[in-house]
């Protein structure tokens, strides 16, 4: 099978940046259902408040801008855009696929596989872009890349664990004998651990931290008015956000 050409790679980035931005509108046109409708608008304690998911709008907009920038002659001539071109279009394509599967009520197991693949790719992109920033290479749109893939990876670092939780709940494997609030904290802890590790590897990448803290803040908002013991989830999420911010600050100072 012939390798994908550079122009083909750039074209796929444009195509899938557009599709991932347009697919969420399909339910409004009568095709499929919204993700919220699929879940029955159920909100277990580990799920952020609805407003937090608006971060996808920012990510999709930045993806469209990136799709334009990467076709410019100044970007085509750089090593970084050649390195990230394939994983970025695959990430956008998987994002499109995840939404299609969710909106047409596909299996949760498939959604989980897709989002785990998305997470792996987004983390790779985060590290590629962070390494370039550390070397202070002159790359067109370098700040755009940092914001886009920092937000993408940071949000997916939480979202992937929420998908794991959804799968376990649907299989009646959760809450693993725990109370709902205890299980919610048990889901947030490994997500926070992943974020902490990646903050160390990315030298405290600020946009990655912002997306993760944004998600945790959404969990705080979703649980802050709940009665005890569910309110402990808000306390745990707030504590993790503070801890991760401290880790990011330390990582930046050590870089």
| pLDDT tens string 213-241 | 999 999 999 999 999 999 999 999 999 99
Residue 65 confidence (pLDDT): 98
The model's confidence at residue 71, banded by pLDDT at 50, 70 and 90, is: very high
Residue 41 pLDDT exceeds 60 = no
The dihedral built from the CA positions of residue 57, 58, 61 and 63, taken in this order, carries a sign that is negative
The model's confidence at residue 1, banded by pLDDT at 50, 70 and 90, is: very low
How many angstroms separate the CA atoms of 48 and 220, rounded? 7
How many angstroms separate the CA atoms of 213 and 93, rounded? 26
Residue 174 confidence (pLDDT): 81
Residue 45: count other Cβ atoms within 10 Å of its Cβ: 26
pLDDT (mean) for 50-55: 94
Residue 38 confidence (pLDDT): 63
Cα angle for residues 95, 110, 36 (degrees, 5° grid): 65
What is the tens place of the pLDDT at every residue in 146-202?
A: 999 999 999 999 999 999 999 999 898 888 889 999 999 999 999 999 999 999 999
What is the tens place of the pLDDT at every residue in 103-148?
A: 998 999 999 999 999 999 999 999 999 998 766 667 888 999 999 9
Percentage of the chain lying above the pLDDT 70 cut: 95
Q: Is 228 exposed, middle or buried (0-12, 13-18, 19+ CB in 10 A)?
A: exposed
Residue 55 pLDDT exceeds 80 = yes
Phi first, then psi: give them for residue 227, nearest 5 degrees: -75, 160
The dihedral built from the CA positions of residue 40, 45, 46 and 52, taken in this order, carries a sign that is positive
Residue 181: count other Cβ atoms within 10 Å of its Cβ: 22
Residue 152 confidence (pLDDT): 99
Mean of the per-residue pLDDT values for the chain? 92
Which stretches within 171-204 are classed as H helix? Answer: 180-201
Q: Is 238 exposed, middle or buried (0-12, 13-18, 19+ CB in 10 A)?
A: middle
Give the CA radius of gyration of the chain.
Answer: 19
Find the Cα–Cα–Cα–Cα dihedral 52, 54, 58, 64, rounded to 10°: 140
Give the pair of three-digit tokens for residue 173. 């494997």
Coil, strand, or helix at residue 169?
helix
Question: Looking up tokens 């799968």, which residue turns up?
Answer: 167
């Amino acid at each position: 099978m012939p390798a994908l050409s550079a122009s083909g790679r750039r074209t796929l980035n444009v195509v899938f940046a557009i599709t991932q931005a347009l697919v969420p509108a399909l339910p409004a046109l009568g095709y499929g259902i919204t993700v919220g409708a699929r879940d029955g608008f159920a909100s277990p304690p580990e799920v952020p408040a609805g407003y937090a998911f608006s971060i996808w709008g920012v990510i999709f907009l930045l993806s469209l801008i990136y799709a334009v920038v990467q076709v410019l002659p100044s970007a085509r001539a750089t090593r970084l855009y050649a390195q990230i071109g394939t994983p970025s279009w695959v990430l956008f394509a998987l994002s499109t696929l995840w939404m299609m599967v969710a909106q047409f009520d596909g299996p949760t197991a498939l959604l989980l596989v897709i989002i785990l693949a998305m997470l792996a790719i987004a983390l790779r992109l985060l590290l590629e872009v962070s390494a370039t920033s550390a070397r202070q290479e002159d790359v067109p749109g370098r700040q755009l890349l940092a914001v886009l893939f920092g937000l993408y990876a940071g949000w997916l670092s939480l979202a992937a664990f929420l998908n794991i939780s959804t799968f376990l709940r649907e299989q009646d494997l959760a809450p693993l004998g725990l109370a709902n609030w205890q299980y919610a904290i048990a889901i947030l802890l490994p997500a926070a651990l992943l974020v902490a590790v990646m903050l160390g590897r990315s030298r405290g990448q600020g946009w990655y931290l912002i997306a993760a803290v944004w998600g945790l803040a959404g969990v705080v908002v979703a649980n802050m008015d709940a009665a005890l013991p569910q309110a402990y989830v808000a306390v745990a999420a707030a504590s993790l956000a503070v801890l991760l911010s401290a880790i990011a600050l330390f990582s930046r100072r050590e870089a």
